[in-house]
Amino acid sequence: MFSGFESRTVTGDPADRSSVFVRHGGQGPPVLLLHGHPRTSATWHRVAPQLVRHGYTVVCPDLRGYGRSRGPEPTADHTGYSKRAVAKDMLAVMRSLGHHRFRVVGHDRGSYVALRLALDHPEAVAQVTLIDCLPISEHLSRITARFATRWWHWFFFAQPDIPERVINADPDSWYHGDPRSMGQENHDEWRAAVRNPQVVRAMLEDYRAGLTLDRQHEEDDRQAGVRLRCPTQILWSLQDDLEDLYGDPLRIWRDWAPDLRGHGIDSGHHVAEQAPDALVASLAAFFATGA
């Protein structure tokens, strides 16, 4: 995986002993790729090299606490795992590599980090692509029995202690990774991560912050009239349930992004692994509009 890429660990705030593992490679305009739950940066192994061939510098970090990145000890208010905190990690990573303005692509939980990064640091984000994403507050304002049944894991993961005990008892059974679809090296890296109780705790803190601090930050932004300033692309997996639950996701996103476009991709949820060529084509076409 990631032939020609370098890897390093970027140390964060000494006070919280955080660090970010990152892969990076290529030459040209920088692109930051942010993975989702429960993946690591290795999920981009079929996408990142193609973007390099398209002429981009590609940066793939493990999110705070995921994979080989480490976050602070969890606290009762979940501050250390808020998307605001993780977005600051990503900004620090890009600056450490010499990139002060860049494109961002986020999938699943990484899309919430990408959204927060673009909202909080508009001077740094030239374009943003969000995959399989609605703002957390938009999901929660539309809760139905159907949503709660399909997305029950959001509310289970938010419970104290119980999900750790359930998942760590047999992580291989909880997370169903397939080395044939994921790629063997990606699968092996992911499997090592989810078998680490420290990683599992951090991933759950991500969700706990989501239903509390992250929701509040989004609602504060809406009340203050804060919107995305950069060109925004929304992509969604047609074999997943976002469109099934809400219809056209762009209808909801228009309240957040004045410069908006997007479409569905014929894929399951893990589009970077299952439909990398279609994803790269969409990204390259969108990036070209900002050249």
Give the residue numbers marked as catalytic.
Answer: 108, 269
Distances (CA, A) of 156 to 167, 241, 279: 11, 19, 31
Structure token digits, residue 134: 């609605």
Burial of 129 (0-12, 13-18, 19+ CB in 10 A): buried
Task: Select from 152, 57, 139, 111 the least CA-distant residue to 237.
Answer: 111
Q: Which helix (H) or strand (E) holds 250?
A: helix 249-253
CB contact burial 67-105 (16+ within 10 A = b; e otherwise): bbbbbbebeeebbbbbbbbbbbbbbbbbeebebeebbbb
Query: Any idea which residue has 């709660």 for tokens?
Result: 148
Collapsing DSSP states into helix, strand and coil, what is residue 166?
Answer: helix
